[in-house]
Amino acid sequence: MVKYKAVDLFCGVGGLSYGLKRSGIEIVAGVDIDESCRYAYEANNTTFIHKSVSDVSAQELNELYNGSDIKILVGCAPCQTFSKHTLKVLDREKSQKWRLLDDFARKIQEIRPEIVSMENVPQLRKYDVFNDFLTVLRQNGYHVSYGVVYCPDYGVPQKRSRLVLLSSLLGPINLIPKTHLREKYRTVRETIGDLNEISNGDIDSRDILHRCSRLSPINLRRIIQSVPGGKWYDWDEELLVECHKKKTGATYSSVYGRMEWDKPSPTITTQFYAFGTGRFGHPEQNRALSLREGALLQTFPKRYKFIPRNGKVLIRQMGRHIGNAVPVRLGEIIGESIISHIKGFYD
């Protein structure tokens, strides 16, 4: 039987790794520069290597594949550099994160894994660094496919679009067909509707992660006047934010909003716990999303361990960990695509 092992670069707390593991792929290590991800990654996946991808050596990674017939290298380079949300904020040419995809490409050239997968924001396609990455793959004999995946098509209950690339030295490789029709998209209600009700700023006594940030008095008044799927146009005038009063304010229609029960959620970002940063108001309760709700919408199972027993919950850090993760279900789909591809050559 053919054996295959995977290493996850830029692994974070392990959303992609866990999805690959659920598909049947053995994960042998995750690499990330953020030490705060170690507990969650190792508690749910495997060995965590605390290094920058530029610093970890090809020899070190190759040793992890010992006994494997097929080497799989996957990763999601930090995407803020390429996100439309930072379009006018970051000087990309000076950002250290700008060249992380080049570091990924160098590891591919040095290791020559049979399978490579990369996940990122759709905007990445617009930049030379992505075209350079494609050139490296093709010049080294890889068959490459990529496209923008609308995550509800694969069972992720959020309106998240992601660039997914698959490449192989074995032959042509593609993502498996969509698994969910529009009328069967997973919804907010299906995903978080069974959680206990909590109040603004409260914590569920039986679930330490089912906690939400406390809204300011004015934001509490705003969410009371918000309707699911509505906009700030529904508020009394005295509740409007200054930017909303300007002509350009119309472009901020999706902030300070409630989610809708029977649709997928908006994209879960690193600040999903803050009512004012997106449509992150609970559909019914007068509060922002809890950490648990964000994790579930990212398709982390309830059993996923984010902090040690009796560990301290840091909302901003946890929000960053959850929001930065590849949805587990998308990782599983990528894994199933890889396994289906391998079986086509080895069965």
What residue type is 44 in one-letter code? N
Q: Does the CA dihedral 85-88-91-92 come out positive or negative?
A: positive
pLDDT at 156: 98
**Rounded distance between C-alpha atoms, residue 201 and residue 212, angstroms:** 5
Nearest to 293 by CA among 183, 228, 213, 181: 213
| Intervals of CATH 3.40.50.150 along the chain | 4-180+327-346
- Residue 149's beta-bridge partner residues? 162
| Intervals of CATH 3.90.120.10 along the chain | 188-324
pLDDT at 92: 47
Tell me which CATH code domain 188-324 carries.
Answer: 3.90.120.10
**So which residues are the catalytic ones?**
79
Give the three-state DSSP class for 179.
coil
The answer for residues whose C-beta is within 8 angstroms of residue 98's C-beta and 6 or more apart is 81, 92, 129
CATH architecture of 4-180+327-346: 3-Layer(aba) Sandwich (3.40)
pLDDT at 240: 83
pLDDT at 232: 75
pLDDT averaged per 10 residues in sequence order, the chain, 347 residues: 96 98 98 98 98 95 96 86 48 59 95 97 94 97 98 98 98 98 97 98 97 95 90 80 59 76 97 91 97 98 96 96 98 98 91
